[in-house]
Structure 1
Amino acid sequence: MAKKNQKKTKSKIVSAAWKLFYEQGYEDTTIEEIIEESGTSKGSFYHYFEGKDALLGSLAYMMDEKYEELEPTISEDADCYEVLLYLNRELLTMIEESINVELLTRLYSTQLTTHGERPLLDHGRTYYKLLKKIISRGREKKELRTDMSVSEMVRYYAMCERALLYEWCLRKGEYSLSEEAERKFPMMIGSLK
């Protein structure tokens, strides 16, 4: 039970931080405001995060929460290629509606320059586990190609998704991310079939 409460506390901090970052901007959001918005304590905040910059990497875990929310909605019988498109559409819609493009840009830049932990590449995340499960099932059902390993296909999917996000950041969010993905992502991952 304690582990579940810890995850809930961390999740509350992350959700509050990203809400405030979106509304006020990263620079204009203080740790005190995050603590107040999350209804947690200063001790809890510093238990999970060294400071505000450490929250940038938490976007990966926010994405995982979205996948955890979506997983129960996926039917075992659903076409796996269509499930991959669904997951991408839902995630990118969530990002477009709740993540400031400047913040996403900052996250990507820190992932490129950091020498330590890089949460976007952590294969222990729900994101990678769910993709592996769906792609494995797709291969078993002969809906997805079998001449590439599951790991290669997961990596390719993640690379395509990051390409959409990176381009959106480069263009400073000048177009709808979800609409662009709706048009381009099927072409990008079509080779998985």
Structure 2
Amino acid sequence: MSHLTPRQIKAQQTKKRILETALDLFSKKGFDHVTVDEIVNKSKTSKGAFYVHFKSKYEIFLEKFKEIDDFYATFIRSLPAGTSSHEKILRLTESQMIYLRDCLGKDLIRTVYMSALIPNPANYFSNTDRELYKIVHSFVKEGQEAGEIKKELSSSEITMLITRCMRGTLYDWCLFEESFDLLAESQKFIRVVLAGIKA
């Protein structure tokens, strides 16, 4: 087992401090109103240190959202053998919404959605190489091969519809404040979509 040097430990601590400071500032002031200089000042680091760890402000979101992709990978391993594709998609949606609600929170999700509107070639939501897209796509293909899901649309088109349903539910959660039950609404929405693609 390799051990980190004191320098590597310090670098990890600096990165974590920059990340946490930036996310806190984004949540309080909005992504557009926070500068790299402000992040550096508040985190008591340097501009050089910032750019060693992050290419831009937006990359801070990508770093945070890597945790979500790790969550999806763990989720896949928890599914019992023999679970239908529909049930897998329902369980994934449920687990995703619980995780985002309880571990990331509405303020961070709102900030992420606002920043996603800024033109950026590395836009997290449109990246089909993300773990979420790959997992949903595998469920859809599996469902089509098993005769559970229609074949009139391609597996990629259906994957996009399902992930659009997920994003739309999260967007509404940000819009409707406390009156919106993220878990209940996501389940209603995804069940309607799944009924529409059922073979």
Quote the residue 1:182 is aligned against.
187
Quote the residue 1:74 is aligned against.
79
- Separation in structure 2 between the aligned mates of residue 19 and residue 76 of structure 1, nearest angstrom: 42
Matches within 5 A, 1:46-85: 46-85=51-90
Quote the residue 2:171 is aligned against.
166
- Separation in structure 2 between the aligned mates of residue 105 and residue 72 of structure 1, nearest angstrom: 29
- Could you tell me whether the CA contact under 8 Å between 1:102 and 1:172 is conserved in 2? no
> What is the CA deviation profile of residues 113-143 of structure 1, one whole-angstrom value per residue up to 9, with x for unaligned ones?
2233111111111111111111111111111
Runs of 4+ in 1 over 4 A off after TM superposition: 16-22, 24-36, 42-45
Alpha carbons of 1:135 and 1:107: their partners in 2 closer, same or farther (altered >3 Å)?
A: same
Report how far residue 190 of structure 1 moved.
Answer: 2.1
Report how far residue 45 of structure 1 moved.
Answer: 5.8
Report how far residue 54 of structure 1 moved.
Answer: 2.9
Greater shift after overlay, 111-120 or 162-171?
111-120
2:190 is the alignment partner of 1:191: no
2:127 is the alignment partner of 1:122: yes
Out of 157, 160, 179, which is 1:155 matched to? Answer: 160
Which secondary structure state, in structure 1, belongs to the residue aligned with residue 150 of structure 2?
coil
Q: Which runs of 5+ in 1 are unaligned?
A: 3-8, 37-41
Alpha carbons of 1:128 and 1:108: their partners in 2 closer, same or farther (altered >3 Å)?
A: same
Larger radius of gyration: 2
Alpha carbons of 1:33 and 1:70: their partners in 2 closer, same or farther (altered >3 Å)?
A: farther
Greater shift after overlay, 80-89 or 111-120?
111-120
RMSD: 3.6
- Could you tell me whether the CA contact under 8 Å between 1:35 and 1:45 is conserved in 2? no
Out of 96, 107, 111, which is 1:106 matched to? Answer: 111
- Could you tell me whether the CA contact under 8 Å between 2:165 and 2:189 is conserved in 1? no
- Could you tell me whether the CA contact under 8 Å between 2:21 and 2:39 is conserved in 1? no
- Could you tell me whether the CA contact under 8 Å between 1:123 and 1:129 is conserved in 2? yes
Which secondary structure state, in structure 1, belongs to the residue aligned with residue 125 of structure 2?
helix
- Could you tell me whether the CA contact under 8 Å between 1:160 and 1:189 is conserved in 2? no
> Across the two proteins, how many residue pairs are aligned to each other?
180
- Separation in structure 1 between the aligned mates of residue 83 and residue 48 of structure 2, nearest angstrom: 45
Alpha carbons of 1:184 and 1:61: their partners in 2 closer, same or farther (altered >3 Å)?
A: same
Quote the residue 1:140 is aligned against.
145
Higher relative contact order (CA 8 A, sep 6+): 1
Overall identity of the aligned pairs, in %: 19
Greater shift after overlay, 149-158 or 62-71?
62-71
Report the TM-score, using the length of structure 1 for normalisation.
0.74
Alpha carbons of 1:99 and 1:34: their partners in 2 closer, same or farther (altered >3 Å)?
A: farther
- Separation in structure 2 between the aligned mates of residue 19 and residue 186 of structure 1, nearest angstrom: 38
Letter of the 2:143 counterpart? G
